[in-house]
Amino acid sequence: MLEIGAREAEPTWASYYHAHERPEPHRTLREAVARFAVPGTAIDLGCGSGNETLHLLHGGWKVLAIDRQPEAAAFLEPRLPAQLRTAIDLRVVGFEDIVLPPADLVFAGFSIPFCHPSRFDALWTQICNALRPGGRFAGQLFGVEDDWSQNAKMTFHSRARVEHLFEGFDVENLDEVCGPGRSYDGPKRWHVFHVIARKR
């Protein structure tokens, strides 16, 4: 069962980030990082509460952390140890509105499905172009059977479409999960693809 938070009486981004503050980053990121012999440069798209950004920084990575919500930066900044601050570029901007620099790892933890469908292809092209040969994408895409799939402002994929996106990659993990769980809005049916893929 997936669990991505619980309903609150008056949810805010700040309360969402507090609810998701945890010492361990998402398993998808941990597994992707473990596939690198040495740390490099990473982009965290939709960094949120900053758990994955902090994991990367502590592992010796240089990180561009991006989130459109000012609350994300306000929540993450006090958590940054002084000795790691020179290794992070923290920006408050929609990831569709930024030119991504070259990177060894792009992590998108439950973030890029919130890209508008009309802008997803351009964002995906940016991600692919930013990754150096041998670099990896790690993150989540939402499937067409997800309860949120009627939201015309979000992007959802069939398995065939997911596989098409990763032409030019060696897919190292593709875990499809479909079933009941929770979101910050309460119970829902999730359809999620957890992906780790290495660019050829």
In this structure, what token pair is assigned to residue 128? 């692919």
Q: What is the CATH number of the domain that holds 168?
A: 3.40.50.150
The CA-CA-CA angle for residues 88, 51, 27, to 5°, reads 120
pLDDT 10s digits, 38-79: 999 999 999 998 999 999 999 999 999 999 999 999 999 999
pLDDT higher than threshold 70 for residue 21: no
Query: Into how many domains does the chain fold?
Result: 1
- In three-state secondary structure terms, 25 is coil
pLDDT 10s digits, 121-148: 999 999 999 999 999 999 999 999 999 9
Q: What is the pTM of this model?
A: 0.89
In which domain, by residue range, is 115 found? 2-199
